[in-house]
Structures are given as structure tokens and as C-alpha cells.
């Protein structure tokens, strides 16, 4: 088939997207497809409008790529694409709205509150309000951002203002969450609606204090243990939560669901990634490999699942 891969974009995850898409394009080529790479930019939409392909593989992350924007455009152009549609993408990108849906469906999630910041906001006043509501340590992060960009763990109330400023660089909406000290886990999901399956759970041991941007994308930045060192009963419970979260948001074809495991027995969902990273150090390909799927086979499986929708 003739397949276009959209990569790059204008978000803060541009470099990750480029790395992800290099792998996808090589796999598609290895699988015999005719591949076109497009460095996506919202000011060059004619490149998308003029596309004459059988399928689009979205290798974008963050704003305009993962939030439903490009999905809406492709829907209007009636060009099929790999991954979730407009609503699921937008919901997953909005961490607070996703959290509300998880809680409505009895999927445990950290308690949190959303705050709006504008250029006229009084950061001192807002920081004081947050410090009255939350007890350190707590998490401050942009509501609509990925790869832990702009995230801080506030251990001292005096640091709240700076954490807010850091998050505000990425989003006007700031999410404050209780801090869960626990094991980092992630669950890749694969399959069309009603047939979704959870791949092996990955336990993540970051080299840094938190699983931040460097830990995710630097060689040796984290250790991945597959399957995670948890009981079979807990494995099944977390995989069940992951599939449910995928379905609750209306995700399609694939996603990756992140959790924290407190005290070795209490799982808390963090977020659903509708376009998980596919770089050489990424989690989804590692889990697929543990399920006896090579990188090329995994990419082809995503293509074939999309065609069957």
C-alpha cells in the first residue's frame, strides 16, 4: 500500500516524534509498502489536503498530533489513519477530563484539581490557594502535555510558585495531583473494538528520581522489566483496568496506559497515551517483543487492524 507517515510537528515532543517515525517508516518499507514521510506543520496543510495515499500512520506527539486536530482533518478528507479518532484523542490528551471518566468507571486515579492560568494571573495568590488545598509532596503538571514536559514534584510549599510557572510554559490549564509514591508500570493495548488485549505489563525503573523526559528517551535512561514483578492476580487486575480505560475513552487500535502501584498492591491510573512512542528505547515495542512480535510485525499488525475496522 501507499502509506504516508506524519512526523515532527510543532510540539515540544518534536524530536521524539522524529525518532518514532524513523522506526515506523523503516518498518513499513521493510514490510513492502510505498512510504511517504511528511514533516507536519499546521501552516502547510496543503501537503495533507493533496495526499493521495491508502493510509496515514500518525507518528506525531503532543499538540496538533495527539489531541484530535490532525485526526479531524483526516476524517474530513476521508483518509483512513492508524489509531484513535478525534474524541478519544482529545479526551486522552486532557488529563483532568480523562481522570473524571476513569473515576466514574471505578478505575482508581490520584485525586486532583484543575486550575486556569492566564498572563494576568497572580501566581503568589494561586500558589497560596494550592498550598491550602494540597499537602506536599504533590504533582504540578500541564493538563495537556506529554512526556512529563513541564512536570514538577513539589516537596516544599515554597516551591509551588516556580512549579506553576514551569507548567504554564506548556499550558494555561494546570493539573495539581496528590503524589503517589509507587512502582511505575505501563500496559500496551492492542486490538480493534471489543477485541482489545493487554500486552505484557512493563515495570519501569528510571535512573532519575522520576520517569522524566531524559529517562524516557535517553539511552540507558531507564530499565524495563518485562513482565513486571507483580503477582498474577495483580497483573490481571491492572490489565483489566488498562483495557477498560482504553474503552472508556473510546480509543482505537492501540494505546499505552500508565499506572503507579502504591505499596505493591494499590494501582492508580495516570493517563492513556493514544500515540505511544515507538523509538528504539520506547515501551510499546519492548512489550510487543516480549509477546513474540518483532518491531516490523508490530507495525504491520497496526496497519492490518486499521484496515479491518
What residues are paired with 8 via a beta bridge?
40
Q: Are 241 and 266 in contact (CB under 8 A)?
A: no
Identified catalytic residue from 85, 252, 256, 287? 256
Cell of 10: 510543532
Extended strands (E) in the chain: 2-8, 34-40, 55-58, 112-116, 138-142, 152-154, 173-178, 182-191, 197-198, 202-206, 222-225, 253-262, 266-273
Active-site hit among 8, 13, 171, 286: 13
Active-site residue 172, yes or no? no
Quick count: other Cβ atoms within 10 Å of Cβ 132?
9
Q: Of these residues, 277, 286, 287, 300, which one is catalytic?
A: 277
**Catalytic residue from among 143, 215, 273, 282:** 273
The catalytic residue among 271, 282, 286, 287 is 271
Q: Are 63 and 41 in contact (CB under 8 A)?
A: no
Q: Are 183 and 260 in contact (CB under 8 A)?
A: yes
* CA dist., res. 146 & res. 270, Å (int): 12
Say which residue the cell 528504539 belongs to.
280
Verify cis geometry, omega within 30 degrees of 0, for the bond prior to 265.
no
Of the candidates 258, 268, 286, 287, the residue annotated as catalytic is 258
217 is catalytic: yes
Cα–Cα dist 206/275, whole Å: 21
Q: Is 31 a catalytic residue?
A: no
Respond yes or no: is residue 13 known to be catalytic: yes
> What is the distance between the alpha carbons of residues 217 and 234, in angstroms, rounded to a whole number?
28
Contact present, 81 and 132 (Cβ < 8 Å): no
Candidate list 217, 241, 254, 295, residue with the active-site label: 217
Catalytic hit among 147, 152, 222, 287: 147
Check if 277 is active-site.
Answer: yes
Q: Which string of b and e fits 202-219 if b means at least 16 CB within 10 Å?
A: bbbeeeeeebbbebbbee
| Active site residue ranges | 13, 147, 217, 256, 258, 271, 273, 277
Amino acid at each position: 500500500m501507499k502509506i504516508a507517515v506524519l512526523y515532527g510537528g510543532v510540539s515540544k515532543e518534536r524530536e521524539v516524534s522524529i525518532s518514532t517515525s524513523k522506526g515506523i517508516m523503516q518498518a513499513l518499507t521493510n514490510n513492502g509498502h510505498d512510504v511517504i514521510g511528511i514533516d507536519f506543520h499546521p501552516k502547510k496543510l496543503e501537503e495533507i489536503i493533496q495526499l493521495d495515499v491508502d493510509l496515514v500512520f500518525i507518528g506525531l506527539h503532543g499538540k496538533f498530533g495527539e489531541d484530535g486536530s490532525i485526526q479531524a482533518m483526516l476524517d474530513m478528507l476521508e483518509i483512513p489513519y492508524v489509531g484513535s479518532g478525534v474524541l478519544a484523542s482529545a479526551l486522552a490528551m486532557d488529563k483532568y477530563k480523562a481522570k473524571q471518566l476513569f473515576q466514574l468507571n471505578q478505575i482508581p486515579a490520584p485525586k486532583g484539581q484543575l486550575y486556569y492560568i492566564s498572563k494576568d494571573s497572580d501566581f503568589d495568590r494561586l500558589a497560596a490557594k494550592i498550598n491550602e488545598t494540597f499537602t506536599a509532596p504533590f504533582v504540578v503538571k500541564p493538563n495537556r502535555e506529554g512526556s512529563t514536559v513541564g512536570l514538577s514534584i513539589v516537596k516544599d510549599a515554597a516551591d509551588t510558585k516556580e512549579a506553576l510557572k514551569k507548567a504554564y510554559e506548556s499550558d494555561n490549564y494546570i493539573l495539581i495531583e496528590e503524589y503517589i509514591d509507587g512502582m511505575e508500570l505501563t500496559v500496551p493495548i492492542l486490538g480493534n473494538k471489543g477485541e482489545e488485549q493487554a500486552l505484557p505489563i512493563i515495570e519501569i525503573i528510571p535512573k532519575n528520581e522520576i520517569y522524566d523526559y531524559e529517562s524516557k528517551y535517553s539511552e540507558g535512561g531507564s530499565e524495563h522489566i518485562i513482565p513486571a514483578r507483580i503477582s498474577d492476580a495483580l497483573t490481571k487486575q491492572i490489565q483489566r483496568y488498562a483495557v477498560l480505560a482504553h474503552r472508556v475513552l473510546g480509543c482505537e487500535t492501540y494505546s499505552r496506559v500508565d499506572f503507579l502501584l502504591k505499596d505493591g498492591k494499590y494501582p492508580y491510573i495516570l493517563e492513556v497515551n493514544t500515540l505511544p512512542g515507538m523509538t528504539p528505547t520506547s515501551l510499546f515495542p519492548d512489550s510487543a517483543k516480549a509477546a513474540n512480535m518483532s518491531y516490523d510485525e508490530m507495525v504491520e499488525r497496526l496497519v492490518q487492524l486499521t484496515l479491518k475496522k
